[in-house]
Chains A and B, each alone.
Chain A
Amino acid sequence: MKRLLMIAFYAVAIISMVMAQDDLIMKVDQQGKVGFVDKKGTVVFNYIFTGAFPFSKGYAQVFKEEKTGFINTHGVVTVPIIYDNIELWSDNIYKVKIKTSFGLLKADGTIVLPVKYSNISAPNIYGKAWIALGGKVVTGTDKKNVIAGCKYGIIDNSGNILIQPEYKGLFEFARKWKFNEIPYGEALSPLWGQKATSDTLLSNCEYMSFSKDPNSCLNGGLLNNKGEELIKMGVYSFIVKPQSDMVRYYIWGSKQTQCGYYNLITKKDFLATTINQYINDIKFITHMDYLGNITPVNNNGQSWSIIDKSGNTINSGVESVTKGEISKAWAFCKNDTWKAYNWQGEKILGDKNYEGIIFPLTEDNKDVYVIKENGKWGTVDKEGKQLIPCTYEQASAPSYGWIIVKKDGKYGVIDINNKSIIPREYENIISNTYKYPDCMWVMKDSLWYNYNIVSQSISEDGYKVVVSNFDNGYSLVQPNNMTVGETVLSRSMLELPSLNIGKDDKFNNSQNAFGFVIGKDNKQYISLPVTMNLYEKVVEYIKKNNNQPLDQSQSRRLLLSLTKKSRSYPLTDKITDDNWDY
């Protein structure tokens, strides 16, 4: 019993202490000055402040005329009231300003960064921010506010300096190139250009490029996230973000481009290929990133070689290359024969030579590979063991465990165990984009029908065009021979001037832009045709309406409301009723 009483006593005491931190109450006197009293009304701070925010976590921000600082609940000014501005920067850290300089501190007065920086950006979602030292704010030639003549650095969201502010040019690897984009292919290159003062970083700053020019990353070097110099400036013309400890580089002149790699572990580089063209004239992907131990390198646009991290050629004369993102594998075609390797360079799918390889699209069937043998398609596992015999004329990549297959000229859907989901009776099928859909679109007699997988039946109505596979529960469809009347409303859905009815051909040429919204139950959910650009908003409204179909009146009102901005009327006109929702 005594022990329980002691526990209760200390618990109340702790809770009281916690409460005491927020116990000061802000009061205002007749002159409009602010002070603080405790719960008993005893003045803890006199009415000397011109403004204040309420206490939070034991501190309150206060103002004296134009200056601001912090006080605590014990009558102490913890942060002197000398700052021009204080704003919350990250968790318990505040960004403070005196004239044109910034710093970071905590409400208890702990200095995190002294007030000497010309800019401190807000932290990004990765908890990284950039800082600038020196220079001054100018409006650049592109009319942005930037810090001219400064040096950049990087901090984390606790205010720790990761990269000292010593670099005139400091760039993230945030410029994305797509898989087929020439000449770099899939890559992250430095994002050049000065940052506006309000910009935040875009990446986690795992690596940064640096140079002498704030507007150019050419001839830049490489830093890691501790600020250590990995590659000096001026060694390479251009680099992309390291992958698997390998840095892809370019050295270009007016008539030649050298393509190679720098190994961050061995600290050695090697030349992979030389192309007798200036970089901007190259019309193919030069060499790719290492995603493991191997990578493809292009031989002047003629063929590919596959090399390891020391630059040794493992395979040459490769005609085609595909990448499996989910399987973390490559597939190479040489002499019409396909082979697959994981990113470490180990052969997968057994020792066979295939006529085709298709990688899975989704994580849940990442070890199911669609392959072609003897002119037919089937599936194997990673070791090459047969899962589904090669009996199909065509097969799609596995998507959420389902594969679209063709046999005897007809399409159907099977699962990865070769069990029929949709019988092979159709001219075409649209692939599922989510797991276990209730229905999918199938084509019969050149029209699309909604196939209900549960009841194994298709809808009565077929459509000429369908958009979306009921991802959001609905689809936009176009019946065969659909004609949309030219009205104020239908014109405004196309953003055509409503007063030009019958005066131009623009409406008639846009009939294909319309469709009806139907649900999985094949019912029409809005009584009027809508255009693709309004489809999402209409679905959003239907869902807010408890997924009930809209009647004629509701449909008309909704569409009139959504097209308000497309319709304008002379002030002197009487506007006809078909323009009004009420």
Chain B
Amino acid sequence: MNTLKILPILLTTIIVSSTATAQNNDNTMKYRRSSLYSLMVNHTDQQFASEIKEAFIGMPIPDKYNDHDLSVKILTLDKKLLNVSSNEENNTISSFLKNNDIGSRLVAKWFDRDYISGVCDMNLVKERGLYNASTFDQILAEKSERSQALIMDAGEDLIGNTFVIVNDIRYVDKSKGSATVGSILKILGKVAAEYSGNSTYSDLGNNLGDIAATLKGFKVKINTFLYKLDWNKAISMSFYKDQYCATSDTTKKQTFENARNNYKLMYIGKQESSGSTTSFIGIKENEPVVMVRKACQRAVDENIANLQHNFDAFRTKSPLASIDPITAYVGLKEGISKNSRFEVLEKQEKEDGSFIYKRVGIIEPIESMIWDNRYMAAEECAPNATIGATTFKKISGGDFFPGMLIREIDNK
């Protein structure tokens, strides 16, 4: 046998072996996501309002969504929100969104519209749409039917999947008339300073006990209101024709300003958190804001998961992390249970550069292998907190391949 012929076989073998266990992190996988803008209503009449605000600011947009935040995140209210318990559209929230032209601002962000000159570009659309940048520009420049199809694709699958959630967060006060002891951080900051010396702890007295008792039962009630940007063919055509300008154009700039009211948000629905008590496990006593963050994060995640269950439009796709076994980076945070079901989607690119998703199978999670990816699950040593992904079993369909996406469907 010729010596040279042996080596390629060996090399191939080595290469196959070394890639067998490669895994990707969900954040590095490229797939189209919906875009999300998240705000909170902070109740300044309540204890811990400042800590809750800090915790909310610290919460990132969930990684299953593109971050479409605007520069206003915190709204204040010094009383309970009117009709907060109703599932109907909340007039106060909707009025805020309308009066502040939120719809138009979300559109402006899509096109990185310069507030001084009105100049726009398509860079964010290209980036989030995973289009080949040069092909995209080329097709758009044709001003042909292909261009139209591309714009429609970007509209339906991207811009039209822009959501707003307004989180009304209230602290559930369990105190029975005990004296208000002021900000958590101030009290425990003092305590932490005393820790560093050689004093005994017994002289801290009852203040710490009161605070600790409050924190141990720390609960928040969060009502999350969900809205979707209304981006249809008429709005899209009007925007591209009369308001989008790649170079400075006073007329188009003014036309957009005059048309801000035309960009609307549609109310989809509302979710109220269960209000369960968040455990203190895994949190150090001199880091109280972590407790507040944990309670708020868990409740917001719970609401987002439930909104996805209840409203198809808000459901997200996630990529398969592996195909044998079938795993994905979703878990309890997304509200997965043994009764969840997911469709497996294959992305297909059409000649005009747009995309469609075709169902190729259905999978279910294995009950004992659902990942606990809730905030701080690992710190509280929750079971399955460290398994890294949920494992599924196939219910129907053919072969799956890396790059396929899954999306939750209605329970069996």
Residues of A within 8 A of B (CB): 1, 4-5, 8, 11-12, 15-16, 18-19, 22, 25-28, 30, 32, 34, 50-51, 53-54, 56, 63, 85, 87, 140-144, 192-193, 196, 198, 216, 552-553, 556-557, 560-561, 564-565, 567-572, 574-575, 577, 579-582
Q: Which of B71, B200, B367 contacts A32 (CB 8 A)?
A: B367
Find out whether the CB atom of A571 lies under 8 angstroms from the CB atom of B41.
yes
Q: Does B391 contact A (CB under 8 A)?
A: yes
Judged by a CB distance under 8 angstroms, whether B312 is at the interface is no
Q: Is the CB of A142 within 8 A of B115?
A: no
Q: In the complex the two chains form, is A28's CB within 8 Å of B393's CB?
A: yes
Task: Count chain B CB atoms within 10 A of each CB in A18, A19, A51, A556 and give the residue with the most.
Answer: A51
Q: B92 is contacted by which of A28, A141, A192, A571 (Cβ under 8 Å)?
A: A571
Interface string of B272-284 (1 = CB under 8 A from A): 0000000000101
B75 contacts A571, CB within 8 Å?
Answer: yes
B74 with A560: CB separation less than 8 A: no
Q: Which of A28, A140, A142, A564 contacts B71 (CB 8 A)?
A: A564
* Cα–Cα distance between A581 and B105 once the two chains are bound (Å): 8
Does B3 lie within 8 Å of A581, measured CB to CB? Answer: no
Write 5 A-B pairs (CB below 8 A) sorted by A numbering. Answer: A1-B3, A32-B393, A51-B366, A568-B75, A569-B72
B21 touches A32 (CB 8 A): no
Q: Which of B6-14, B133-141, B352-360 contacts A (4 or more CB under 8 A)?
A: B6-14
Closest to B100 in A: A575
B201 to A141, Cβ gap below 8 A? Answer: yes
Q: Which of B277-306 contact A (CB under 8 A)?
A: 282, 284-285
Interface status of B402 (Cβ within 8 A of chain A): no
Q: Say whether A582 contacts B325, CB under 8 Å.
A: no
CB-CB under 8 A from B208, the residues of chain A are 143
Besides A571-B93, A579-B71, 4 other CB < 8 A contacts? A28-B393, A564-B74, A572-B95, A581-B115
Chain B positions within 8 Å of A216 at CB level: 198
For A564, give its contact among B17, B73, B284 (CB under 8 Å): B73
Closest 5 CB pairs of A and B: A560-B71, A143-B285, A582-B108, A568-B74, A581-B71
Asked if B366 and A142 make an inter-chain contact with CB atoms under 8 angstroms apart, the answer reads no
Q: Is B114 an interface residue when CB atoms closer than 8 A count as contact? A: yes
Q: Is B261 interfacial (CB 8 A cutoff)? A: no
Query: Interface residue count for B (Cβ, 8 Å)?
Result: 61
- Residues of chain B lying within 8 A (CB to CB) of residue A87: 386
Query: Which residues in B have their C-beta under 8 angstroms from that of A564?
Result: 57, 69, 71-74
Contact present for A572 and B92 (CB under 8 Å): yes
Contact of B391 among A15, A28, A196, A571 (CB under 8 A): A28
Q: Say which residue of B20, B54, B92, B116 sits within 8 Å of A553 (CB atoms).
A: B116
Residues of chain B contacted by A193 (CB below 8 angstroms): 195
Interface-central residue, A56, A564, A567, by most chain B CB under 10 Å: A564
CA A193 to CA B109, docked complex, whole Å: 53
Q: Are B325 and A26 in contact (CB under 8 A)?
A: yes
The reply to whether the CB of B33 lies closer than 8 angstroms to some CB of chain A is no
B171 CB to nearest chain A CB (Å): 16
Question: In the complex, which residues of chain B have a beta carbon less than 8 angstroms from the beta carbon of A8?
Answer: 6, 10
Query: Which of B75-134 touch A at CB < 8 Å?
Result: 75-77, 81, 92-93, 95-96, 99-100, 105-106, 108-109, 113-117
Closest to A577 in B: B115
Closest to A8 in B: B6
Q: Are A142 and B96 in contact (CB under 8 A)?
A: no
Which residue, of B71, B81, B116, has the highest number of chain A Cβ atoms within 10 A? Answer: B71
**Are B114's CB and A567's CB within 8 A?**
no
Chain A proximity of B377: nearest CB distance (Å): 14
The verdict on B313 contacting chain A, using a C-beta distance below 8 Å, is: no
Cα–Cα, bound, A572→B95 (Å) = 8
Q: Are B17 and A569 in contact (CB under 8 A)?
A: no
Query: In whole angstroms, what is the CA distance A8 to B4 when docked?
Result: 11
**8 Å CB contact of B114 from A51, A141, A198, A553:** A553
Query: How many Å from the CB of A7 to the closest CB on chain B?
Result: 9
- B368 cross-chain contacts in A, Cβ below 8 A: 32, 50-51, 63
Q: Does B42 count as interface, using CB distance less than 8 angstroms?
A: yes
Least CB separation from A9: chain B residue: B6
User: B residues engaging A (CB < 8 A)?
Assistant: 1, 3, 6, 9-10, 13-14, 17, 20-21, 41-42, 53-54, 57, 69-77, 81, 92-93, 95-96, 99-100, 105-106, 108-109, 113-117, 195, 198, 200-202, 208, 212, 282, 284-285, 324-325, 366-369, 381, 386-387, 391, 393
Chain A residues near B75: list those with CB within 8 A.
568-571
Evaluate whether A565 and B100 lie within 8 angstroms (CB atoms) in the complex, with A28-B366, A87-B386 already known.
no
Judge whether A11 and B10 touch: CB under 8 Å: yes
Bound-complex Cα distance A1 to B14 (A): 23
Q: How far is the CB of A96 from chain B (nearest CB, A)?
A: 14
In the complex the two chains form, what is the Cα distance from A56 to B200 in whole Å? 49
Q: A8-B6, A15-B13, A143-B285 are in contact. Are A582 and B105 (CB under 8 A)?
A: yes
Contact B21 A56 (CB under 8 A): yes
Given contacts A53-B387, A142-B195, A557-B71, contact A569 B10 (CB under 8 A): no
**Which residue of chain B has its CB nearest to the CB of A57?**
B21
- Collect the chain A residues with CB atoms within 8 Å of residue B325's CB: 26-28, 54
A100–B95 Cα distance when bound, in Å, is: 56
Q: Which of A56, A216, A571 has the most CB of B within 10 A?
A: A571
User: Is B212's CB under 8 angstroms from A192's CB?
Assistant: no
Shortest distance between the CB of B45 and any CB in chain A (Å): 13
Chain B residues near A575 (CB, 8 Å)? Answer: 72, 100
User: In the complex, what distance in Å separates the CA atom of A105 from the CA atom of B348?
Assistant: 49
Chain A residues with CB under 8 Å of B71's CB are 557, 560-561, 564, 567, 579-582
Find chain A residues with CB under 8 A from B95 CB.
572
Closest approach, in angstroms, between the C-beta of B197 and any C-beta of chain A? 10
Tell me if A552 and B116 are in contact (CB < 8 A): yes
Across the interface, name the chain B residue whose C-beta is closest to A18.
Answer: B17
State whether A565 touches B73 (Cβ < 8 A).
yes
Name the one of A12, A30, A34 contacting B10, with C-beta atoms under 8 angstroms: A12
- Note all chain B residues with C-beta closer than 8 A to A26: 324-325
CB distance from A327 to the nearest CB of B (A): 33
A452 CB, min distance to chain B CBs, angstroms? 33
Q: Which residues of A contact B108 (CB under 8 A)?
A: 582
User: Which residue of A5, A11, A192, A567 contacts B1 across the interface (Cβ within 8 Å)?
Assistant: A5
The reply to whether A553 and B10 contact each other, CB–CB distance below 8 Å, is no
Given known A32-B393, A564-B72, contact A570–B77 (CB-CB < 8 A):
yes
Determine which of A50, A552, A567 lies in contact with B74 in the assembled complex, contact meaning CB atoms within 8 Å: A567
Question: Nearest-CB distance from A45 to chain B (Å)?
Answer: 14
For B13, the chain A residues whose CB sits under 8 A away are: 12, 15-16, 19
User: In the bound complex, what is the Cα–Cα distance between A22 and B19 (angstroms)?
Assistant: 12
* Interchain CB contact under 8 A, B201 and A142: yes
Q: Measured between alpha carbons, how far is A34 from B393 in the docked complex, in Å? A: 10
* Chain B residues, CB < 8 A from A569: 72, 74-76
Query: Once bound together, how far apart are the Cα atoms of A102 and B190, in whole Å?
Result: 36
Q: Which residues of A contact B81 (CB under 8 A)?
A: 571
Tell me the bound Cα distance from A539 to B57 in angstroms. Answer: 22
Given A565-B54, A567-B72, A582-B108, verify A22-B20 contact (CB < 8 Å).
yes
Q: How far is the CA of A131 from the CA of B73 in the complex (A)?
A: 46
Q: Tell whether, in the assembled complex, residue B76 and residue A556 are in contact, meaning their CB atoms are under 8 Å apart.
A: no
Assess whether A565 is in contact with B369, with CB atoms less than 8 Å apart. Answer: no
B284 with A196: CB separation less than 8 A? yes
Give A331 Cβ to nearest chain B Cβ, in Å: 33
Residues of A within 8 A of B324 (CB): 25-26
Q: Which B residues are in CB contact (< 8 Å) with A85?
A: 381
Name the residue of chain B whose CB is nearest to the CB of A559.
Answer: B71
Given contacts A556-B115, A569-B74, contact A192 B96 (CB under 8 A): no
Say yes or no: A141-B57 contact (C-beta < 8 A), given A28-B366, A32-B393. no
A19 with B17: CB separation less than 8 A: yes
* Residue pair A582, B113 in contact (C-beta under 8 Å): yes
User: Which A residues lie within 8 Å of B42 (CB)?
Assistant: 568
Query: Who on chain A is nearest to B108 by CB?
Result: A582
Contact of A15 among B14, B202, B285, B381 (CB under 8 A): B14
**Contact check: which of A15, A196, A568, A574 meets B76 at CB < 8 Å?**
A568
Contacts of A565 in B (CB 8 A): 53-54, 57, 73-74
